[in-house]
Every structure is written in structure tokens, then in C-alpha cells.
Structure 1
Amino acid sequence: MAGTPRYDICRYCQERFAQIDGPGRKKEYCSVDCRRRAQRERDGRPGRQETRTALPLGRRIAEDLQALSAALLEAEYDGRPLKELLRCASEVTREVEYYKAAAVQDARNRGASWDQVAEAAQTSATTARTRWPESRVKDRLKRRSAERAAVRQPATALVEGPGAAGERPRSKAAERASLKLASALSHLHRASGLTVREVAEHLSLSPSYVSRILNGERTPAWSVVCSLVRLCGGDPAEVSVLFEGAHGMVPPGRHAIEDAMARLHAALRGLHLAAGRPKPGVIRRDSHGALSTQAISEILGGEMIPGWEQTSALVTALNGWPADVRPLWEAVHYTFLLCLDPEEGPRQLLPGSESI
């Protein structure tokens, strides 16, 4: 589609980045930092330990492994054919091998010796060095990035109308979003002090249908969600992204930076609501200290765009799935990247975020 960015793989960090169509030489690196680091390596100059401070390579793979493992478990529960079970298992196995390679490279970036890697992998140093040399690991992760980029291409939404999603097959992410939406609505209902019958009377619905909504057995139309949220004293914007996810709705491929930021914050506030709006101190404890109470308050208050490690820690502490939120976080950073002159762009793209 015209105006939709295509994605390439950064020659240095092997991550996806938005490639701008048009005349001129295409970018080979996702950021100025990656281009500079690659130049330093070619020149044989030290990189000031920049690699050691980068986001761990294995983190993203572990997040995707969580989703693949859940898909395998669901296939088992559903009693699906052996062929499908083995296909799901093969995907997990392949991703585990990618993770091992990335984890070894992360350890090497932190200064681990081959003897230490060999001890952890229960093999010889020679075997470890042969199995996971940096060049081979980068090639494998580049291949994985290309595979995952193809898998993550946006698909046309299955939903023809707000009430149709419950009648159609949904993805695992949609099912998780549906449960989170129900949790958020249930929390608002409990906090309101209204009975199910009172809610039903105000919304002109049957009490049994309201109960099924609050239990997650039904995902209602947006008009019903809005009315229920407002009746219970909430803000519909907080559950808008959960609603879209529950119905499998695919938003436009590109957003203005303000819209992308608003969607990310809405998703995080929706997860916070679904978790019962725990206090920042509780979230800090559940994040094992990865986030300060001030950062938590600023993120949920829409005052700060977090880096991915902060976002992942917050989503996990709120019992969400980082892999479900990652596309929203990427949309903010990719959109911002499109606005930058690659020669003049700042080293830090957004307040509180790591460089892409």
C-alpha cells in the first residue's frame, strides 16, 4: 500500500526498522548509533562497552517463546490433530535454538569467557566456540528476524462488525485481550458498587448477559463497553486498545506520533485497570525493582514514553504479555524514527527510551 513503510534488517543489531521508500540510497542501519558502532568495528576501535549496555538479544526471543508455548498448550487442550501439535512443537524447538544462540552472545557481550559458556552449556570450550561464534550467531538472528517479520505482517481483521468477533476464530492474542477486557470491566463494576441487575437496567440488557460480559464469556460491541465503563465511572479510552485486540481489529499501518503514543499509553493503562489498579509500590515490587515508583506513575500518567525494558517489566508486573504490547511500542519508535534525519537525529529518541 502506498505510504506504508517496509521493514529491513539492521546490519549491526539485526533488528527490524522502517525503511523509507523513495529516491536515494537506502538505509543499512536502524539508527546513527548502529552505524557508528559498525564503523568502529571496521576501524578496529573500541566501542566504549556499548554492546554490553544494549538490550539483551535473548529478551525478545524469550517473549516470543512465551506466545509459542501458549499456542502449543492450547492446541493440546483443544485435542488438535497430531500434525498440528508437532508443528507447534517444532516452532518452539526452533525458537529455543535461536534463544540459546542469543543467550550465549549476550553472555559474551557481558564479558563471559568461552570456558564459562562451555560450563553453562555442559560442553567443551572448543565445541561452544564452534557452535556459537559471533558471526554465525548474527547470521542466525538475521535469518530469524526475517522469518518473524514475515509472520508479523498485518492481516486483514476478521471482524466485520463489533459484535461479530465472538462468532469467529480468534488468535491467542485476541483471547488474552478479551480476558483482560473482562477483568478491567469487572474491576470497574466492583468499584462502582452497582449490582449486576442495576447495570443491566441502566444499559437495557439482561442481567445474565451482563454477567457473561463481566465473566469474559461475551465480548460486547463498543457501544455497550462505552456505556458500561461510563456507568461505572471509568474512561472508555483506557479499554479501547483491549477492545480492539479482543475483536482482532487491525489498526492502520501508520499513525501520527501523538496517536501512536496515545495507543501505547492506553494499552498500559488498560492492563493496569485489568490488574485492579495496583499502587506504584506494588508494581515496583512485582517488577523486582526494574521500575521506580516515579517512573511507574509517569508512564501510567502518560508523561513518559518508556524504553522496551521498562515497558516489558511493567507489562509483566501487570500480568500481561510483553509480546502483545511490543507492536504498539514499536509503532511509537518506528514512527518517531521516520521523522528523524539519520545524520542529525539525537542519540536518545524519546524521553525515557533506549535508542532503536
Structure 2
Amino acid sequence: MAGSIPRYDICRYCKKRFAQTSGPGRKKEYCTKDCRRLAQRERDGRLGQQARAALPLGRRIAEDLQALSAALLEAEYDGRPLEELLRCAADVGREVEYYAAAAVQDARNGGASWDHVADAARISATTARTRWPESRVKERLKRRAAERAAVRQPPVPAVEGPQAPQGTALSQSAERASVKLASALSYLHRASDLTISRVAELTSLSPSYISRILSGERTPTWLVLCALVQLFGGNPEELKTLFESAHGLVAPTRHAVPDAVARLQAALRGLHLAAGRPQVWVVRKAAHGALGTQEISEILDGDMVPGWEQTSALVTALGGWPADVRPLWEAVHYTFLLCVDPEEGPRWPPAADPEST
């Protein structure tokens, strides 16, 4: 019997023509083992660079540094005891060390040489290698994650129509949310053209109590908030996330996809409302070109779930703190990874190409 005619394919790495082996099993994609190994190395490097570029290590720590520095400044303004001032300063100092290690790792991931790192840090290359080797940086960041997990407030069950425990000490994040909530209510009140006395008549609340709510001296209960927002012609759901944060209510860390997306979108719309609903071009200018007008419109309209770079830029442009919103974004990111069919919901960030994994 005459020999069968050989089949030929093109090597996926070197693009050369090679004879395909006959018989059962998966057909070859590369002409040699060397080509297969080189292709794998290239693919691993490309995917690693994409992952590192998507989530810079230093960026997240810098956002948390912003909150810690604000806590130190507020403690100084309040004239708190020296013990508390030094504790706040130690928190900032420790986070600065973590940031330095993460920033060096980001630079190294981007291709910076040890000589470049040494010049930037004004130390010798040998000292830089000794101080920030990748293995040590990873251990430091693991330790930081463990420290933050230890102090993180445990989740509380969500309740229908949340009521805040009055008189509890608010965290820095809660205080910032309380200020934003008051700003949003004040904007809605001004837009409604209702006088405080008229609002008092329609809600059976005292004028002085309404004034304290609008000035931020008092944070209302959920029922009072709903009554005021509806009277002012607004949507209470847009302020629900700010309300929960202002009262120190911690939501469960995992939500169904629609719930996680809705919470993030409500938080962003609440910040937009607190900023006085500025025009899209104003927000774009405040974002220093990091966001386009179409992106901003789609995010605020709920037609797009933004990536972290977009979320951080938008929150900052609206006068918010990225560190306060990050847990909401991470909840969306987690549920997105578990989403079977993202086409059913809003437009999502692009998923990784299955062929490249």
C-alpha cells in the first residue's frame, strides 16, 4: 500500500511550514519543542505585563495613604492626645514604606533597571536590590493585606429600610460620606425652590432639624431621607449607598451581579449629585483628560460598568475619595469573574481571550 500523503501546517511561532504527524491525538501547533517553549514564554510575559498594567500596586496604596493622611490632619485639628497623633503618624509611615516597595515593583514590572531604581531612590544599585527584591516586596504586601484584613470591620446583615444607630463613632470614611450626603440633599433642596418652613410643613419636621440635616450637622434616618429626597424631586436610591456609608453600615462583601453593579452606580451618581450635578465637560476637565465625555455619560447613565482607572478618575473629579469607593468596585469585579453571560447585563470590561490563557 502506498504511503499516505503527508499533511502540512504552519508553526504558530516561527511561521515555517512543517509536516504534521499522523495518528490519534491532538495535532501539533509548533514545529519543534523549542518553538513551543518560546511561544509559551512570550505568552506568559505578555499576560503578566497586561495584569500588572491593569492594577498598579502603588496606586491602591497611594489611595489608602490619602485617607490615612486625612485622619492624621483631622486628629491634629481636633487637638487629640499625643498617643493618638503618634499612632496616626505611625500608620502613615508604615503605609509610606509599603508604597515605596510597591512603586519600585511597578517600575521593575515596567522594565526599569536596578540602576534606574537606584538613581530615583538616591541609593546604590546593590542597596536597591537588597531592599526591594521581588520576593521581599511580595511578602511585605501579603503582610499589609493581613494587617488590613485584621482591622476591617466585619459585615453586618443588610436590613430592609436601614436605620442607623445614633451616637456611634463614625469612621473617617463615614464622616466623608456624611458630608457628601448633606451636599446632595442641599443641592436637591435648592433645586426644588422650597423654603425650609414649607418643607417643615409638608414633612411634619421642625425647621431647625431640617436645617441641621441640610448643613450636615445631623445625618437623617432612612425614612426621613426618603421623605426629603422625594419632596425635593429626587430619587432616594441614588443616595442609598452614601447613606449606608455615612451611618457606618457595612454591606456583605459579596452580592449578586445586579446588586453589586447597582450599588457602585448609585455611589457614583450620589457623588455626582453631591457635586451639584456638574455638566459632563466640567467633569472631564476635572479628570484632566483621564476620561472622555462619552465615558462619563455612559457611567453616570448606568450604561457602562467602569474599570478601576475610570472609577478612580471619576470619583476624584467629583471630589470623592477613591479608597471609599474601591470596595464597591471590587465587589463588582468579583461578581464579574463569576458571571456566566455578561452580555445579559450592562456593558462590561473586556474579558480575557480564552485562547491566550
Report the TM-score, using the length of structure 2 for normalisation: 0.80
In 1, distance between residues paired with 2:143 and 2:216?
39
- Secondary structure of the structure 2 residue equivalent to 1:277: coil
Residues 259-286 of structure 1: CA deviation (Å, up to 9, x unaligned): 1110110000000000000111111111
In the alignment, which residue of structure 1 is the partner of 2:349?
352
**What SS class does the counterpart of residue 349 from structure 2 fall into?**
coil
Larger radius of gyration: 2
User: Cα distance, 1:350 vs. partner?
Assistant: 6.7
From the superposition, tell whether residues 237 and 316 of structure 1 become closer, same or farther in structure 2 (CA, over 3 Å): same
Note closer, same or farther for the CA distance 1:166–1:65 as it changes in structure 2 (3 Å cut). Answer: same
Identity of aligned pairs, percent?
73
| Contact 1:306–1:353 (8 Å) recurs in 2 | no
Distance 1:221 1:248 in 2: 13
**CA RMSD for the aligned pairs?**
2.8
Is the partner of 2:45 in helix, strand or coil? coil
Higher relative contact order (CA 8 A, sep 6+): 1
How far apart in 2 are the matches of 1:95 and 1:275? 30
Alignment partner of 1:278 is 2:275: no
Indicate whether 1:47 and 2:53 are aligned: no
- CA contact 1:226–1:236 (8 Å) conserved in 2: yes
1:156 Cα offset (Å): 4.4
2:98 touches 2:144 (CA, 8 Å); kept in 1? yes
Q: Aligned letter for 2:278?
A: P
Distance 1:88 1:275, change over 3 A: same
Amino acid across the alignment from 1:317: A
Structure 1 pair 329–254 and aligned structure 2 pair: CA distance change class (3 A): same
Q: CA deviation at 1:228?
A: 0.9
Number of aligned residues: 310
- Distance in 1 between residues matched to 2:252 and 2:145, nearest whole Å: 23
For structure 1, the residue ranges without an aligned partner over 5 or more in a row are 1-39
**1:221 Cα deviation from its structure 2 partner:** 1.3
Q: Deviations over 1:172-192 (max 9, x none)?
A: 111111110000000001111
Distance (Å, rounded) in 2 between the aligned partners of 1:84 and 1:155: 26
TM-superposed deviation, 1:164: 5.1
Partner residue of 2:146?
146
Counterpart of 1:92 in structure 2 is: 92
Q: How do 1:1-356 residues align onto structure 2 when only pairs under 5 Å count?
A: 44-45=41-42, 47-48=45-46, 49-50=49-50, 53-156=53-156, 165-339=165-339, 351-352=348-349
Q: CA deviation at 1:166?
A: 4.1
Q: Which residue of 2 aligns with 1:19?
A: none
Helix, strand or coil for the counterpart of 1:123?
Answer: coil
Quote how far apart the aligned CAs of 1:146 are: 2.2
- Cα distance, 1:84 vs. partner? 2.0
Aligned to 2:31: none
Cα deviation per residue 1:11-39 (whole Å; 9 max; x = unaligned)? xxxxxxxxxxxxxxxxxxxxxxxxxxxxx
Query: Partner of 2:217: helix, strand, or coil?
Result: coil
Alpha-carbon distance change, 162 to 138 in structure 1, aligned in 2, over 3 angstroms: closer
Q: Compute the displacement of 1:109 (Å).
A: 1.9
Distance 2:71 2:233 in 1: 36
CA offset digits 1:295-325 (Å, max 9, x no partner): 1111111111111111111101100011111
Q: CA deviation at 1:163?
A: 6.4
